Amino acid sequence: MEKYSDYESIEVPDSYTGPHLSFPLLPDHATALVEAFRLKQQLHARYVLNLLYEARKHLAQLPNINRLSTCYSEEITVCGDLHGQLDDLIFIFYKNGLPSPERAYVFNGDFVDRGKDSIEILMVLFAFMLVYPKEFHLNRGNHEDHLMNLRYKPKHAWVHGKKILRTLQDVFCWLPLATLIDEKVLILHGGVSDRTDLELLAKLDRHKIVSTLRYKIRKENDRQAEEKRKAHQTSSAQTPTPWFLPQSLSPPSLPFHLGSDKAHKASLSSSVPFCALLEHTKLAWLGRRSVDLELERCQQRANFPGIGEKEEPLPQTSEAHAVPGELPEPTLQEWRQVVDILWSDPMMQEGCKANTVRGGGCYFGPDVTEQLLRKYNLQFLIRSHECKPEGYEFCHNRKVGEPTAAVLVCVSQKRPKSSS
């Protein structure tokens, strides 16, 4: 990590008129950062890298599931997707107040992408997190993922963009996966499935999950396994190959999520990449060369600007520079657990089925919600991941709350309530 955060070698010129930061951060630093960004000022790359480096150190000390209490703060404000919209963040602080020891916040993922102020939002969130580590908390969303972030570039991309993106990728890997308030209210970005295991989520190595999109099949050396693979290919010739896999590695059509007949049929009807992953094949992280090819395919399919121009190689975490045999690998079970909580959506019907629209996670019904709440003695689930026309929405017998960025959900010792 250190070799990607050599911010001390970056000089801040005398002509720089933006905000200055010194560490450890004070409340005035975070407040001044909000005001500077409101006035369209930019933060110098040295301070960006310094702040990311400090944020990464703090996040690496946190558990996968943060446990908070309302004993000290009567209310904890939970905010949904910001997606690069700085005006939404400023409006939240205007309506609800700046973070403080008496005013706790949980931002539930998807801070970046779509909007033009992703870097500014990250800087503000990380600054307040460092100033108020016990009152200001962040969950990972499905967009805190380096492959999902390819549509935006930092404003410092011409000079220090590679360092910033590489450091960001490492920071995202350390974001907590969920937050639990008073052991009764579970907050996570996407949703749950009928196999969500909070105990497994609490103990897996979350920094291994660099991207929920970046997997490929390890080549099979065993001749018997090779023959089985070919047999499957022959029997499922009509199954589309995921865009990130070579044609020679076209997998058999197996259910992406559950293994039930319904999930199997759903996966057959989808052409998105997740739905063609092998159920029992050992998976491995892509190497640097493969990721560069993957980046090019991803950009071409998404029609990103600049296609055909020379692009900077996709930044890697420090782990990705190790030799292949030493790469940490999440198990398929661990990977699915994370995909489910980051990508899933609720549905009104009972049951749990593959989320073929998003291509990852599942659709979960009220019975699945009830099952999880009862299993872990919980009362309420808060998720975001979707924009709601009214600003917030309740479903599954009002046991699932879905706030957007501009509408707040306050969790008190009495019961969850919404405020605008």
269, amino acid identity: S
The H or E element spanning position 332 is: helix 332-343
Strands 400-403 and 352-354: unpaired
Catalytic residue among 29, 143, 257, 396: 143
Please answer whether residues 210 and 330 qualify as being in contact, where contact means their C-beta atoms are separated by less than 8 angstroms. Answer: no
3-state secondary structure of 181: strand
Active site residue 143: yes
The 10 Å Cβ neighbour count of residue 391 is 16
The H or E element spanning position 283 is: strand 283-284
323, amino acid identity: V
At a CB cut-off of 8 Å and minimum separation 6, what does 55 contact? Answer: 126, 129, 130, 171
* Tokens describing residue 11: 């000089």
CA-to-CA dists, residue 75 to 6, 277, 382, angstroms = 39, 42, 15
The 10 Å Cβ neighbour count of residue 94 is 9
Question: What are all long-range contacts of 311-317, with beta carbons under 8 Å and residues at least 24 apart?
Answer: 312/157, 312/161, 312/162, 313/162, 313/288, 314/146, 314/150, 315/146, 315/162, 315/165, 315/166, 315/168, 315/169, 316/166, 316/169, 316/288, 316/291, 317/166, 317/169, 317/170, 317/173, 317/210
Please answer whether residues 276 and 311 qualify as being in contact, where contact means their C-beta atoms are separated by less than 8 angstroms. Answer: no
Q: Which residues are catalytic?
A: 143
